[in-house]
Chain A
Amino acid sequence: MTKLTLSRSIFWTTIAFLFLPLVVLMIFSFNDGRTMVWKGFSWRWYESLFTNQPRLWMAVSNTLIVAFTASTVATVIGTLGAIAINWYRFKAKTYVRAMSFLPLILPEIIIGVSLLIFFRMLGLELNLFTIILAHISFTIPFVLLMVMARLGEFDYSIIEAARDLGANENQTLTKVILPISVPGILAGFITAFTLSLEDFVVTFFVTGSGSDTLPIFIYNQIKRKLPPEINAFSVVLVGVTVLILFLARRSIKYFVQRS
């Protein structure tokens, strides 16, 4: 029997390390003071979070607009592309494959720099629109990856079968290919959405004044002094994330079982 004592203690220490910031945020979201000194229990930051932080909520709404638009477009482009790469022959396939996976491995800063220079060259004004364009670009590879992984589980013969049974091109797409790819599409959309919510680096480059997303807003505030409501906000954020992920898992399971 191999001894696991050392790896066990390292693992649990690591988990403690990973959870430390979370626990700190959670405890101090209930602190009745502005600083990191405990002054007693209070809900006041939760109350003022919903009443006194219009710029924070503006940033949240920007983040959601960007994430929703970008991940939807990225999902459509990525899904069609994955179907083409997996099951069809077309010109420039090697180019498309190599090029679309490049951003997965390049440092994000390269994407930010190149897009900023590109947008400036085109004379585009930097605002939510440029952020959305950038987010579509860096999330497409992840949708591709997820949908291709799902399509890889199926044999090409199911398409041949559909054709033999008389389905035309459109019917094959809508009645066979799309339904079986749903779990992959959902996973791709969720990944794209999360990455878009999280993104700081690329957004930092292509953002203009007045179009702050949440990470940019927090970054600008860290340099000065963050409002104490941020602690309460993080707790709300984790709660909402847990809820959404739970629902997402349920819906993916549902689709997997159905197909």
Chain B
Amino acid sequence: MKSRSGSLYSLPLTTWISLFFLVPMLIVFVYSFLARETGGGVRWEFDLSAYAEIFRQTASGSFIYLDIVGYTLIMAVSATLLTILIALPCAYYIARSKNNTLLLFLVIIPFWVNFMIRIYAWVAILGQSGILNESLLAMGVLKEPIQFLFNDYAVLVVLVYTNLPFAILPLFTTIEKFDFGLLEAARDLGASHNRSLWSVLLPNIRGGLVTAVLFTFIPIFGTFAVPDVMGNSNVFMLGQLITSKLKFTGDYPMACSLSVLILLLSAAGLVVYTVYNNRQEQQHQVVIAEDEL
């Protein structure tokens, strides 16, 4: 086909992504190496102090920024683990059911309510005068209302809640392709039920597992709204830190260097994913080639 129409059709896309993805990201990258202008913005001189600040240790020996990165990692890893632990049996059940379209719909329907309204609903459930407290008071379990909000557990519950479908869907897709006859074969060879799931099913759905982990971990790692509404106001997650630096303190270099940090971590995750996928594909091709021989 003539390359002229190709360039013509791709021109709007190329222009748009260059102007609104590439250029802004380059600016973020450049800004992270500039000096902070008091009152917001940057001064055009090379300055590594934003990065130095990330690794700075206070007199008392604690790291302000690295601690936040560590806390964010712990929260993101725990939320991802919980999500996957719940999503795996769910996806397995859906894949083995005859009505899987209906069951998938059940998983997706709650997400037709706006994201922010769902968070609000959790506030209405867990809050000091929320449903949970009111019911426990009415049942006589509690004498005084308890604050269930503004702690790590509330954040974890809602993070798992908002990310479950993104783990269930890719897991379902891979488990559905799995040949369940292999499980029976393992059982016939004397493996226990759990053993057959662990050593036959799990290795075969690794691809879906990796996708599910990435799809939950990366968004959670950069999350801002959930910890901001539900979390303890004395500790920040990375997303909240960037937001406050950018929107409230006007510390552009700091916000940018932290964004670069998130960018690098996500990129590392992606590289692992791509390398892993390529290896899987090559192995797959080897198997096919052997079949043809």
- A residues near B (Cβ < 8 Å) are 2-4, 6-8, 10-11, 14-15, 17-22, 24-25, 28, 35-37, 76-78, 80-81, 83-85, 87-93, 95-96, 99-100, 102-103, 105-111, 113-118, 120-121, 133-134, 136-137, 140, 144, 159, 169, 173, 197-198, 200-201, 204-205, 214-215, 218-219, 222-223, 226, 230, 233-234, 237-238, 241-242, 245
Contact = CB atoms under 8 A, between A and B. Distances in A.
Contacts, number: 250
Given A10-B86, A117-B24, A24 B131 contact: yes
Contacts of B239: 107, 109
Interface string B144-169: 00000000000000000100100000
18 contacts: A2-B96, A10-B90, A24-B125, A36-B124, A84-B13, A99-B18, A106-B266, A110-B259, A113-B256, A114-B28, A117-B24, A120-B41, A133-B20, A137-B17, A205-B243, A214-B116, A234-B113, A242-B112
A214 B214 CA distance: 28
B134 A36 contact: yes
Nearest to B110: A18
Nearest to A92: B14
B124 A234 contact: no
B117 A106 contact: no
A9 to B, nearest CB: 9
A81 B13 contact: yes
Contacts of A201: 224-225
A10 B89 contact: yes
Contacts of A21: 110, 113, 118, 121-122, 124-125, 161
Given A21-B125, A36-B124, A107-B266, A137 B224 contact: no
B95 to A, nearest CB: 10
Interface string B77-116: 0000000001001101110100000010011011011111
A242 B127 CA distance: 29
B114 A88 contact: no
A90 B3 contact: yes
B263 interface: yes
B196 to A, nearest CB: 8
A70 to B, nearest CB: 12
Nearest to A103: B21
Given A6-B89, A110-B263, A24 B124 contact: yes
B236 interface: no
What 6 A-B pairs have minimum CB-CB distances, sorted nearest first? A107-B222, A88-B6, A81-B13, A21-B121, A114-B24, A84-B10
A81 B224 contact: no
B20 A137 contact: yes
A97 to B, nearest CB: 10
B175 to A, nearest CB: 11
A237 B96 CA distance: 33
Contacts of A114: 21, 24-25, 27-28, 259
B13 A11 contact: no
A241 B129 CA distance: 30
Contacts of B122: 21
Q: Most chain-B Cβ atoms within 10 A of its Cβ — which of A6, A109, A118, A201?
A: A109
B35 interface: no
A108 B116 contact: no
B161 to A, nearest CB: 7
Contacts of B54: none
B262 A22 contact: no
B289 to A, nearest CB: 24
Given A102-B21, A238-B112, A11 B3 contact: no
